[in-house]
Structure formats: C-alpha cells, structure tokens
Amino acid sequence: MKKIVQILLFINIVFLAACSNNDPEMEDIIPVRASLIYDADTVGNYIKTVGDKHKSIADNYLTKAKEQEEINLKKAIWNLKRAITIHPNLDSYKKLGQLLLKDKQFNEAHNLFEFISRKKSEKVDDNWVDYYVFEAPSEETFLNLMVSSFLAYNSLPYDVFDMASELNFSLPKLKDQFFENPLVVCDKESLTYKTLQLYFLTDEERESYGTNAENFTAMLKRINNAPQFQVDLNSVSDFDYANFNGMNFDYETPSLVHVENMFLKESRDHKGEFSNYNFLNAFKLNDSITVLHYAIDSSETACPKDMRHIYHVLATYDNAVNIIDYKIVASQSAEITGEFSFDNGAVVCKEYKRNWKEKYNKTEFDNELLSTKIEKVNSFKISNQGKFEPIVLTN
C-alpha cells in the first residue's frame, strides 16, 4: 500500500510540474467555445466582459502558430483558434482566414470572412441597430470574402455589388483582383466564368445585357445550331425542368438565366416580368439574320405532361439583337396542340384539336385525353430580311 502511495505521489509531482504557470493552457480562464468563435453574440459578449485580460496568454499561442505555419499547418490553425478563444480580435481572425485558405478549408474560411465582413443586428431600446463585430471590412478582407465564397460554393455573395457600393470599393478593381487571385482558377470559356462576370455588372449593364451582340452570340454557342429541326406531337410538351435556362435559380443571385431572358420578346414587351424558357435551336439564315427557336412554359406545377401549357417560338434577330419578326409555331394548351418543322428558313406548322373526356380545366388533372384531330396546316418562309411570309399552297 505504501508503495502505491509513493507511486501516486510521484505521478502527482510530475503532473504539477508539467502544469506550471508558464503553460498558458493551465490558466484559470473560461474561453469562448471553439464552435462559437463565429457567433457574433458570443464573441461580442466575451469582448465586453473579458477584453484584453488574456492577451499575453493568447500571444503565446500566436507565437506557436507562427512557428508551426510552415511545419504543421493544422497545428498552426489549432493554436490560432486557441488564441482567438481567449482573446478574439480582428487581426487574429484575418490570420486564421489566410491559414484556412492555405489549408483548403474553404467552407470554414468563408464562414470566417462572412463573420468579420458582414453587419450584424441587435435590439437596443426597442430599435434594431446594425453593427460590425470589429469594424467595416478592408478591401483585402472583402476580397477574401469573395474568393472564399467562390472556392466554397462556386459563386459569389449575392449582394456583393451592394456591399461593395456601401463600402465605397471600386467594383472594377475588385474584379481584377479577384480574377488575378492564384486560388481562383476558372476557364474563361466556361459557364462559371461567364456567370461570375455578372456579379460585377452595374444595374444599367445588366439591363442592356440582352441587347449586346457579343452576349447573344455566346448564348447561341451553347445551343443546337442546325439548318433543320422540328417539334412533333410527342415533343411539343417537352421541357427541361431539372436544369434549364429559365427556372430553378435564386432570383437574388446574378445568373445568365436572369439576364438572357431579355433576348425574349416576352421579356422585352413586359419588363420586370420573367418567363420560364428553354433556348432550343438556332440557325444563321444569312450574314444579317439569325433565327432562334425557344419554348415558353406556363404549366401548373406537377401537372401531367399532356396538360402542360407550352408554346414554341421562332424569332428573327438582326446583328444588333433587334427582333425583326416573331411567330408562335406550335403550342400545347387546353384543346389545342401542334407541331412544326424548320428547313433552311421554310416553316410548316400543323395545328390539332384535342378532345377531353371532361371539360378542360388547367388546374384539374383528373381528366382524360380522348382524341387528337388535325385542324389546319400553315406554311411560311423567312425572307432574307427576317420576315415571316406565308406560303399559299395551290392544288
């Protein structure tokens, strides 16, 4: 028994020696939980109540982090976080953000730069007051927010333009710095790159996007270009709902979907309204005229395919993206359906009447299509000037 006591006493002495006052981890302090270092209320309250009391201890961790940075990056990050838990300050957060980016921890880096860049809100005397946890972000910090957002989510903050304007940052300068950042690797021909460009457009530039010939040409390259194409009774109601160029996107986030809708006559005629659309085919009729085939969907959500409301358009454009002429060439809705064929500017349209078991109602899906009967055939030719000219068939 005496021997056991001696052993325990020896272990206790060794333990106390290891836990001397020179080891900051053994200080009698209550730190911010590591999981809450990006929580504004927690960090703010800690700063108010503790302030710089543990700065010297935190500095020891910062020194260790600096020593470890080139040797053991994850250990350096651990020491930096430890320093922040007992002395949260802007410089330590910035340094941690850089190390997280270096270690490819992009999601956490984004959380960090969001935390130090965005205003928070608190209620003071029944009024909500906006504030920064530390101070308004510098241009470098704001750029890191953009870079980390791209690396984590392949996009930028939806309100990057508004934030930059409020902070009096130059958007063209931020754009250059963003694309010059070595972490931002993006093929200039990719859809991602083209979408990123939209974040740096002014409201006026976004408004005029649909009348820019270069933008129109870029869109045409992404769809089928052919002298012949057609839509038959089986395909007239086809529509890409999963990932198409007119739906399933965040209206607050800049996207090609949003700006390219201004190529549509529907959007030009009714500014501010948005159509669900598919760009489908294109054909360069001559040096001056381009024919675009697109579909517009106004169906009820989750309706059966034979009750979709979709119409197909052929529109002609000049080289300045002005719409010369426009024609609905096939549609499906209620008692009407149709098909068309296009061959080097010659168009044949067929319209059919549909017979339903019950009186047709767009919102009532429990109905049965009984028969389809052809009603009429119309033929057109697109002139060299881009106008639809009817062709009168003679016996």
Count other C-beta atoms under 10 Å from residue 158's C-beta: 15
Share of the chain above pLDDT 90, in %: 71
pLDDT tens column, 301-313: 899 999 999 999 9
Rounded Cα distance, 139 and 143, in Å: 6
pLDDT score for 228: 97
Cα separations in angstroms, 61 against 24, 54, 82, 83 = 8, 11, 7, 5
pLDDT tens column, 185-221: 988 888 888 888 888 887 788 778 888 999 999 899 9
Rounded Cα distance, 145 and 157, in Å: 8
Rounded Cα distance, 101 and 103, in Å: 5
Residue 7 has pLDDT above 80, yes or no: no
Q: Which amino acid is at 318?
A: D
Inter-residue contact 386 to 325 (CB < 8 Å): yes
Domain boundaries, the chain: 22-123, 136-200, 224-391
pLDDT tens column, 227-253: 999 999 999 999 998 655 544 445 556
Residue 115 has pLDDT above 70, yes or no: yes
Global confidence as pTM: 0.70
